Amino acid sequence: MKTPFFQVVLAIVRKDLQAELRSRELVSSMLMFALLSVLVFSFALELDRLARQEAISGVLWVTVIFASVLGLNRSLAAERDAGNLDAMLLAPVERAAVFFGKLLGNFIFALTVGLLLLPLMAVLYNAPLLQGWLLLILFLGTLGFSTCGTLLAAMTVQTRTRESLLPIVLLPVALPVLLAAVNASTAILRAAPLNDWVTWPQILAAVDLIYMVLCYLLFSFVIEE
């Protein structure tokens, strides 16, 4: 008898959140990295006020995606090292439920980091980052990264080169998400009229949906043994 789909998803998410609340390993290292990255960018680019406003959405998204890579590697490596993946394969559960469980956990971590990063960057770069639309873009963007990231990380943690391979395979595939997210956030920060950029969130949502379906279908091939 199979455990119901949503029960499995919830159980995996709860396990990930509980482990994180107790150890605080993942989010704290992601956050520390994000903070450093934002500071390094502001020194490296030697930004004046105008250049900062142009570059800020790029800095935000590059930071969020690299922090996600960090989190994804840890999250899936933990499953492999403890032998959890094999255990989940033995359990009478749907593999797609395992995918959505891991995806939801990774998404929550990445979104948390993004949400904490926004007020911080708003102060450091003196930009109006706390807007409803930007929160929506952050939500959709991190969802897109986490979706293909969860699938690809499940693959790369099983390879010889492990951690170093994930950014190499993830970044090109995540490009459509990155492009739409950066363009939308730049337009929002410039306070451009809604009609000029409203296609970007639409494209972003469409790309998210395509990746979600594609990764959901492909995931069962990645963890079989």
Partner 1 sequence: MATKTLTPTKTTSTTIPRALAALTLVTLLATLGGLLLGLLYAGTDDQQGHIQRIFYIHMPAFFGAFVAFGTTVFGGLAYLRTRQAKWDTLALAGVETGLALAVVNLATGSIWARPIWNTWWTWDPRLTSAAIMALTYMAYLMLRAGIENPDQRRRFASVYGILAITTVIMTLVIIRIRPDTIHPAVIGSSPQNAEGGFGLTSSMLTALMGNLPVWGLLIPVTLMWWRVRLESVQERVEALKARLGEK
Q: Which residues bind partner 1 (CB under 8 A)?
A: 148, 151-152, 155-156, 158-161, 165, 168-169, 172-173, 175-176, 179, 199, 203, 210-211, 214-215, 218, 221-222, 224
Sign of CA dihedral 172, 174, 180, 182: negative
User: Of 48 and 224, which CB lies nearer to partner 1 in the complex structure?
Assistant: 224
Shortest distance, CB of residue 218 to partner 1, whole angstroms? 5
User: Of 34 and 140, which CB lies nearer to partner 1 in the complex structure?
Assistant: 140
User: Of 32 and 175, which CB lies nearer to partner 1 in the complex structure?
Assistant: 175
Cβ-in-10-Å burial (0-12, 13-18, 19+) of 90 comes to exposed
d(CA 50, CA 75): 38
Task: Return the residue matching tokens 């979600």.
Answer: 212
Shortest distance, CB of residue 71 to partner 1, whole angstroms? 20
d(CA 111, CA 119): 13
Sign of CA dihedral 126, 188, 132, 139: negative
Would you say 91 and 11 are in contact if contact means Cβ atoms under 8 Å apart?
A: no
User: Of 117 and 166, which CB lies nearer to partner 1 in the complex structure?
Assistant: 166
User: Of 126 and 202, which CB lies nearer to partner 1 in the complex structure?
Assistant: 202
User: Of 11 and 165, which CB lies nearer to partner 1 in the complex structure?
Assistant: 165
Q: Quick one: CA torsion of 134, 140, 146, 148, rounded to 10 degrees?
A: -130
Instruction: Return the CA Rg of the chain.
Output: 18
Shortest distance, CB of residue 210 to partner 1, whole angstroms? 8
Shortest distance, CB of residue 155 to partner 1, whole angstroms? 5
Shortest distance, CB of residue 191 to partner 1, whole angstroms? 19
Task: Return the residue matching tokens 């099983």.
Answer: 158
Shortest distance, CB of residue 74 to partner 1, whole angstroms? 19
d(CA 106, CA 99): 11
Number of H helices, E strands in the chain: 10, 0
User: Of 19 and 171, which CB lies nearer to partner 1 in the complex structure?
Assistant: 171
Query: What interhelical angle do 95-124 and 26-44 show, nearest 10?
Result: 40
Shortest distance, CB of residue 222 to partner 1, whole angstroms? 6
